Amino acid sequence: MTAPAATPEERLVGLVHELAGRQEQHLGEHPGWAHQTREHLLLALGRLFTIAPRSHRPIGMPDHRCYENAALYASGTPGLMYTEGVALVNTGNGRHIHLSHAWAVRPDGTVIEPTWDEPGRAYFGLPITDPVLWPLNADGLLSAFDKPLPPLRDGLPTGALGAVGRRSVRS
């Protein structure tokens, strides 16, 4: 009997686990750090989110600017929260890749995708409550070389994460 096929969310969290394991082998440990890598931070604190129907996509946001798009859209829409992490994207022919990405979420954990025409197949990330941490005109909190060091070393500030989305069973 074959095992049931993994859901897109299970595949995405599995890819993050796999990458975290590879990084442990090649990068070594940082004693005293709250999280060894961005992937370890996601696995410890990340949440899964529900994909919104296509009709909920904002219009007019530029391509290739997901961090800024998500932060600007969330800051201009009451009730939305900037969220950063990884998304599983269908590349065609049944193949999927995971990409660093940012999006906005509603209080019920529903994704609002301001950048891509087609939403991702799964979203796993950190809902950031503090607008001071939102990258309104820059790279993401976890994507630029210098920005993730404080959250990895010291952890995120108290109260920085929102209680939206769902915890992954594998996190």
Domain boundaries, the chain: 8-154
Q: Is the pLDDT of residue 58 over 60?
A: yes
The pLDDT confidence band at residue 145, using thresholds 50, 70 and 90, is low
Distance from C-alpha of 115 to C-alpha of 67, rounded to nearest angstrom? 9
Backbone angles phi, psi at 92, to 5 degrees: 100, 165
**What is the mean pLDDT of the segment spanning 76-102?**
90
155 has pLDDT over 90? no
Band (pLDDT 50/70/90 cuts) for residue 110 is very high
For helices 38-45 and 8-27, the axis angle rounded to 10 degrees is 140
Secondary structure percentages of the chain, helix, strand, coil, to 5? 30, 25, 45
Mean pLDDT taken over the chain: 85
pLDDT confidence band for 152 (50 / 70 / 90): confident
| pLDDT score of 129 | 92
For the residues of 30-87, what is the DSSP string, one character each? -TT-S-SSHHHHHHHH-EEEEEPPGGGPPSSPPTT-HHHHHHHHHHTSTT-EEEEEEE
Q: What is the pLDDT of residue 123?
A: 97
* Contacts of residue 35, Cβ cutoff 8 Å, sequence gap at least 6: 41, 44, 151, 152, 155
Whole-structure pTM value: 0.89
The pLDDT tens digits of the residues spanning 31-54 come to 888 888 889 999 999 999 999 776
